[in-house]
Each structure stands twice: as structure tokens, then as C-alpha cells.
Amino acid sequence: MIPTLLVCVSLLSAFVPFLTRSARGAALSSAAGSTAVFGLSIAVAIQAFAASGTAGAVWYLSPLAGLMVVLISFVGWTAAIASISYLSTEAHEGVITARQARHYGALAALFVSSMLLVVLSNNLGLMWVALEATTLTTALLVAFYARRGSLEAAWKYLILCSMGIALGFMGVMLVYAAAASVGMSGFAALDFSALLHGASTLPPALMRLAFAFVLVGFGTKVGLVPMHAWLPDAHSSAPSPISGMLSGILLTTALFAILRYRVLVDAALGSTQYTETLFLAFGALTTVVSALFILVQLDYKRLLAYSSIEHMGLTVFALGLGVPGAIIAIIHLVGHALAKPLLFFGAGNVLLRFQSTKFERVWGVVRALPYTGGFFLFGLLALLAVPPSPLFMSEYLLMATAVMQHAYLFVAIAVALVLVFTGFARAFFPFIFSRAELPSQVVSPEGERWNSAHTAMALHAGLILLFGIALFAGYAFPIISRIASSLS
């Protein structure tokens, strides 16, 4: 009942912005709707944590699904809060109209609704439809400004991700064929709980092939190399609060879909070796390639986008390390979902003041924008795994586990992490701290006023600190272990 209410409220919130006449009113109404969705998501998470796996006609609740519901709704909520000042400023400057702001709010709500459907659905077919819906809604948001660059990025995103989703659909059909071969039919052949119950009887050869299609297809949406080409363009072209949602939670939602199939395939094969080998290979390749791109970026939003690819690579690599890797992956996903939106919200404030996303045109942010610069620096340190960042714990455990398991690809991961740190330090040190004279148009006699984006960044920063301290104190591990158990 509560999952149904959550999805319905999320869908209905897409209509609320059309009741207003101004850009600020549309943003405020979207934030109100997101608040209701976030509140309901907590109730769904409590229900999900109460059972190891509760299946209904439409919904499947597990601890992992509960975590994902909270992350999706939280990032959607903070993005809506950040959008209040972002859209108001752009409307005031004549960049957008009130009509565009209403469409923005509606599409953002539909985006959140489709992600919630992905993680809550008990039917693999419905999950595939919901994942495709995330592509359609976000493609319109990437093209929001209707400029040549954003339109090109939207088409690239739409074409590449739709091709990936089509390959994923082949995986869905192969799972259906495997289920049909053992007597399942109709909706039961794509019912996750029914498939999980009879997974050991599914034909191994068909399930192995199905997972290959799913990993490549849905992996396009995750941003795995070499299917990542859409991601830097899309994330850098979208409005900054939307970029935070794309990087912070959409990639994780697509990975969640892959993990649903991973459980079935491991049970059908009677071994985790096949999926773990693929995860290790794709994870290492993705991490190394993205690290090399990070070294040469000239645009701060594109650099943050490549950073998202790198963190997805680290997460997928962790998932190839067995049971300990699942715990590491959960920590890393949560840490990234908290840190990356903070940085994109900050990037939005920087863009509004400096009117550029190029490093060569932006410097001394902490002087021009003290609040934004402070939060941005905090987010960078968290993303680069400086203690007590949760990402320090996940990356330390990742390397330690890889060494103990003789997963020699850890050498490539270690080199990639050094390259990433070097790339970030080279690009962001002058971006934040440069003492060079600021451009006259960015110097405000009033300094920087607190706005809604700062509130959103403060919420993320607070949770990063709380989660990091809970990890270092050991309090968070029992909950994380419970969540990780639903991956096996």
C-alpha cells in the first residue's frame, strides 16, 4: 500500500508546478511535492527493512530497495530545493521563462517517479519500461536550454542510451525464454520473486547470455566504459541541479537493475565466478579510462561527470570481490550519492556568477562566493576520500580486500586513484584558491547571500559527516551488512 502511495504521490507532484504562474512558484511547488515524496520514502524504507524480501503483485521490497528509495527521494528533494534559487535567478536574468520552469519541475518529478519504479518493481518487464522512462524524461531535461550544445548532447544521450536499453531488452527476453523453458509463463516468467524462487532450475547457458546483454545494455546507462560516451556531454549540458540527480542517483539506479539480474544468474549457475569476473574487468577498465580523461578536462562540469564514471567503475570493481565487496559497494554508492550532488549544486552557483564552465574563466571561488566555495571544497575533499569521508572507508576496504583476494587488477585501480587525485588538484586548486584579481562582473559589493542551493549543500554535507563518523565508529556496518545480504 505505501509503495503504491509513494509512486502515485510522486507522479501527481509532476502536475503541481502547472498550478503556478511564476518560475519561483513552480520551483517552490516542486520542492513541496518532493518533500512529501521524501517523507513517504522513509515509510517505505522502514517497511523494506522489516523483511528480507517482501513480494507483492507489483512491488518487491528488500533492504537494498529501501535504501535506493530513500537515496532517490532525498537527492530529488535536495535538487528541488537547489532549483528554487537556480530557476529564480535564470528567470530573473531572462534565460528561461515561467513556462520552462513549470516543464522543468514536471520532468524532474517524472524522473524521480521512473527511478522509484525501477527499484520497487517486482516485474522485470516493468523495470525495463521504467528504466527507459528515465531516459525519455532526462533527455528533455538535458535539452532544457535548447542550445546547439545541449540539443546535441540530448540526441547523443537519447540514441546511445536507447541502444543500450534495447540490448538490455534482449537480456530481458532471454530471461523470459529461460523461464519459459522450465514451465513458467505469462507474467510469472518475468516476476522477480518467482524467478528467484526457481532460479536454480533456469538454463545456465541462456542466463549467462542474458546477463552479458543486461550488463552491456544497462551498463550504458551506468556509464561503464566503453559505453560511456553520452555521459560527460549530458551531465555538463543539463541544468546543474539535474546534473546532480543524473550523477548522484540515476547511474546507481541503472546499476541496481543489473544487480537484480546478477542474483538470478548466480543462482542459475551455482557460482558467482562468471559475474564477478565481468564486474572486475569492466570496473577496472572504467576506472582507468575515466581517470585518464579527468587529467585533461578543461570544463569543471565535464570533469565532475568523468568523476561519476570513475566512481561507478570503483563500485562495479568492488562488486566483483564477493561478499566483502558488496558491503564496500554499498558504502561507496551512498558516499557518492551524497557528495556528487553537493558539487553539482555548487557548480550551479558558480556558473550563475561566472557565466562559464571553463576552468580558465573561473578562479578564486572561495573569495567571490564564500558559502559556495566552502561547501564545494568540503565536497571535493569528501569525493577524494579524505577522512572522515565515507569514500575513504570504501576505497581503503576496496584496496585491502583486493590485495587479500589476489585480485591483481588492484594495481590499475591504485594508479587510477593517484591520477584522479592529481587531475582534481591541478584543476580545482586555482578554481577555489587563486589570489588573482577577480573579473569585475563577478565581484559583488554585498558578497554572497545564502540561497536555497546552500541549504541543499548543507543537507548533503551534514549527512556525509554523519555517515562517515558512523562508519569510523562502527555503528553503520550492521545496517550495511543487512543491505548487502539482499545482493546474494
Nearest to 447 by CA among 360, 353, 315: 353
pLDDT tens digit string along 282-312? 999 999 999 999 999 999 999 999 999 999 9
Distance CA 13, CA 107 (A): 10
- Tell me what percent of the residues of the chain surpass a pLDDT of 90: 78
* pLDDT of 40 above 80: yes
Does 297 reside within a domain? yes
Whether residue 262 is found in the same domain as residue 278: no
Query: In the numeric block, which cell numbers belong to residue 17?
Result: 508546478
Of the given ranges (106-115, 293-302, 345-354, 478-487), which has the lowest mean pLDDT? 478-487
Nearest to 441 by CA among 348, 361, 346: 361
Does 82 reside within a domain? yes
Whether residue 258 is found in the same domain as residue 310: no
pLDDT tens digit string along 146-166? 888 889 999 999 999 989 999
Whether residue 229 is found in the same domain as residue 290: no
Length of the chain: 488
The last residue of one of the domains, among 200, 233, 267, is 267
Residue 98 C-alpha from the chain's centroid? 28
Distance CA 206, CA 218 (A): 18
Residue 170 C-alpha from the chain's centroid? 24
Distance CA 382, CA 161 (A): 30
- Quote the pLDDT of residue 182: 86
* pLDDT of 52 above 80: no
Cβ-Cβ contacts under 8 Å for 440 (sequence gap 6 or more): none
- Quote the pLDDT of residue 187: 77
Structure-derived torsion over alpha carbons of residues 153, 156, 159, 164, reported in degrees to the nearest 10: -100
* pLDDT of 265 above 90: yes
Whether residue 280 is found in the same domain as residue 306: yes
Instruction: For residue 448, name the pLDDT band (cuts at 50, 70, 90).
Output: confident
- Quote the pLDDT of residue 435: 80
Does 140 reside within a domain? no
* pLDDT of 1 above 80: no
* pLDDT of 197 above 80: yes
- Quote the pLDDT of residue 436: 78
Question: Phi and psi of 298, rounded to 5°?
Answer: -110, 0
Distance CA 265, CA 212 (A): 10
Distance CA 89, CA 123 (A): 42
Place of cell 525519455: 136
Distance CA 328, CA 405 (A): 14
Whether residue 294 is found in the same domain as residue 412: yes
- Quote the pLDDT of residue 445: 58
pLDDT tens digit string along 314-362? 999 999 998 899 999 999 999 999 999 999 999 999 999 998 899 999 9
Query: In the numeric block, which cell numbers belong to residue 71?
Result: 537515496
Whether residue 257 is found in the same domain as residue 278: no
DSSP string for residues in 224-238:
-TTS-THHHHHHHHS
Nearest to 164 by CA among 220, 212, 203, 118: 220
Distance CA 48, CA 215 (A): 26
- Quote the pLDDT of residue 338: 97
Query: In the numeric block, which cell numbers belong to residue 13?
Result: 507532484
Residue 261 C-alpha from the chain's centroid? 19
Whether residue 197 is found in the same domain as residue 336: no
Distance CA 264, CA 270 (A): 10
- Quote the pLDDT of residue 438: 78
As a whole number, mean pLDDT of residues 96-110 equals: 94
Does 147 reside within a domain? no
Distance CA 296, CA 288 (A): 14
Does 127 reside within a domain? no
The last residue of one of the domains, among 104, 122, 140, is 122
* pLDDT of 53 above 80: no
As a whole number, mean pLDDT of residues 457-478 equals: 95
Nearest to 402 by CA among 292, 476, 468, 328: 328
Distance CA 35, CA 51 (A): 26
Whether residue 231 is found in the same domain as residue 289: no
Whether residue 488 is found in the same domain as residue 353: yes
Whether residue 473 is found in the same domain as residue 433: yes
Whether residue 449 is found in the same domain as residue 411: yes
As a whole number, mean pLDDT of residues 216-238 equals: 92
As a whole number, mean pLDDT of residues 131-156 equals: 91
Structure-derived torsion over alpha carbons of residues 295, 297, 298, 304, reported in degrees to the nearest 10: -110
Whether residue 444 is found in the same domain as residue 410: yes
Domain range for 462 is 272-488
Distance CA 219, CA 214 (A): 7
* pLDDT of 186 above 90: no
As a whole number, mean pLDDT of residues 131-154 equals: 91
Query: Residue 449, by phi and psi: left (phi above 0), alpha (psi -120 to 50) or beta?
Result: beta
Instruction: For residue 55, name the pLDDT band (cuts at 50, 70, 90).
Output: low
Does 230 reside within a domain? yes
pLDDT tens digit string along 13-23? 999 999 988 99
Instruction: For residue 34, name the pLDDT band (cuts at 50, 70, 90).
Output: very high
pLDDT tens digit string along 368-419? 899 999 999 999 999 999 999 999 999 999 999 999 988 788 899 999 999 9
The last residue of one of the domains, among 234, 267, 300, is 267
3-state secondary structure of 443: coil
Query: In the numeric block, which cell numbers belong to residue 415?
Result: 594508479
- Number of domains observed in the structure of the chain: 3
Helix, strand, coil share (%) of the chain residues, nearest 5 = 80, 0, 20
* pLDDT of 441 above 80: no
Does 227 reside within a domain? yes
Helix extents (H) in 93-147: 98-120, 124-142
* pLDDT of 444 above 90: no
Does 141 reside within a domain? no
